[in-house]
Amino acid sequence: MPYSYHFGKPDVVEYITKNFTQSQNILDVGPGVGTYSDLLKPYGYNMDALEIYDGYVLAYDLKNKYKEVYVDSIVNFDSSQYDLVILGDVLEHLTIEDAHSVLTKCKNVIVAVPYNCPQSKVDFWDKGFHLVNPYEEHLQADLTPKIMLDRYPTLDLLWSNQLYGYYINI
């Protein structure tokens, strides 16, 4: 869904503001409604977004929230110019192989994932838009804190509760 859990967001904002300057290049992958832009703009951050489903770009006015908005898959996108890549509720939509590929090409990454969360494509109305997003299917619905650390040994836990977790690369 284009909305994510509110859990842990203050911890992520604190981590970013302590470790990345406003002049560094940040890419928000899978921005949905633009949550990370909304959270970080008050601190002076102006980032780019990469959204796979163009319906969200229009429905959530992403072009007014981000410096640049690209419509593509992170699997195909060259993220090498970015100092930080935020994968907010994205990793669970990728195959394990694609997720490993994406993680290896990012300098610094913040990964947010829901735990034990099966989901198929979505078909819903929001803000007057009929949104049918086939990319919303969770290909890794089995994620737990242990599975995340076992499956992705280059990641370390930043924050977690029983439903949701944030990871950074080490």
22-45 burial, b for 16+ CB within 10 Å, e for fewer? eeebbbbbbbbbbbbbeebeeeeb
For Cα atoms 13, 16, 20, give the angle at the middle one, nearest 5 degrees: 150
With CA atoms as reference, report the closest residue to 158 among 150, 167, 145. 167
Domains of the chain: 9-169 (3.40.50.150)
**pTM for this entry:** 0.96
For Cα atoms 46, 35, 78, give the angle at the middle one, nearest 5 degrees: 60
Is pLDDT above 80 for 61? Answer: yes
Is pLDDT above 80 for 1? Answer: no
In the prediction, which pLDDT does 29 show?
98
- Beta bridge partners, 130, equal 125
Question: Per residue in 104-144, pLDDT tens?
Answer: 999 999 999 999 999 999 999 999 999 999 999 999 999 99
In the prediction, which pLDDT does 3 show?
86
